[in-house]
Amino acid sequence: MHGNPSNPGRATQILIVDDHPIIREGMTHLLNLQEDLHVCCAAGSAEEALAEMACQPDMAIVDISLQSDSGLDLVKTLRHRYPNLAILVLSMHDESLFAERALRAGANGYLMKLEATDHVVSAIREVLAGNIYLSAAMHENLARALAGPRKTPAGPIASLSVREFEVLHLIGLGFSTREIAAKLNRSVKTIEAHRANIKEKLNIRSGNELMRFAIQWIESQ
């Protein structure tokens, strides 16, 4: 169980990790309205987040897409270093594509930013109670997957790294290499290297074939 069982009168201390100041400020205002929740620190990058852990928060709310870092990599690091930390991933990305990866990385829940205002407090309370938080639809999807025959729906996609997975997702959404580089705050050469690795892992020969594959994969989710 997460939270403060040894000190029930103390508000749960929360770290917010998001590279948009307005999101950090808005979340801080919303959560500090709750008597039992308090945002003790905020960070805009993985490096800042790890430094802010000196404040000893009980919970971290982490965005997947940080300007210079992968939020999922940060989740893995936090889970490894602070096994009792409650972690809720807050993201603009569709949960059908990223929620399972976030849970595998060590998160205790996944909430899309579109739903954050209405559900973030209940999501936090669910995670602090020791439960996994996902939307009702995502819970149903996972339940069906667990109840059905064991299979590997991701196929070769499961071999992709977190960053390669993000690049494939953006390709499927129609972003160009230059646009992806800007969105992920990486150089064009770095994105081209990711594209080459994706093609090799998926046994795809051309850029056009990769585009078709990415679009079809997005549509099949």
Q: Which domains does the chain have, with CATH numbers?
A: 12-145 (3.40.50.2300), 155-220 (1.10.10.10)
* pLDDT higher than threshold 60 for residue 180: yes
Mean pLDDT within 40-53: 93
Place 38 in a pLDDT band, splitting at 50, 70 and 90. very high
**Number of neighbours of residue 1 by Cβ within 10 angstroms:** 10
106 sits in the region (left: phi over 0; alpha: psi -120 to 50; else beta) called left
Lowest average pLDDT, out of 9-18, 132-141, 147-156, 164-173, goes to: 147-156
* pLDDT higher than threshold 90 for residue 199: yes
Mean pLDDT within 164-190: 83
Cβ contacts of residue 144 below 8 Å, gap of 6+?
A: none
What pLDDT sits at residue 151?
42
* pLDDT higher than threshold 80 for residue 112: yes
Q: What global pTM score does this model have? A: 0.65
What pLDDT sits at residue 105?
84
Q: Which candidate, 19, 112, 119, 14, places its Cα nearest to that of 71?
A: 19
What pLDDT sits at residue 86?
95
Could you tell me which residue, 158 or 188, shows the higher pLDDT?
Answer: 188
Q: What is the mean pLDDT of the chain?
A: 82
* pLDDT higher than threshold 50 for residue 215: yes
Degrees to nearest 5, angle at CA 158 with 164 and 147:
140
Backbone angles phi, psi at 5, to 5 degrees: -60, -30
What pLDDT sits at residue 219?
65
Place 135 in a pLDDT band, splitting at 50, 70 and 90. confident
Could you tell me which residue, 149 or 79, shows the higher pLDDT?
Answer: 79
Place 188 in a pLDDT band, splitting at 50, 70 and 90. very high
* pLDDT higher than threshold 70 for residue 121: yes
CA 187: distance to chain centroid? Answer: 22
Distance CA 115, CA 111 (A): 7
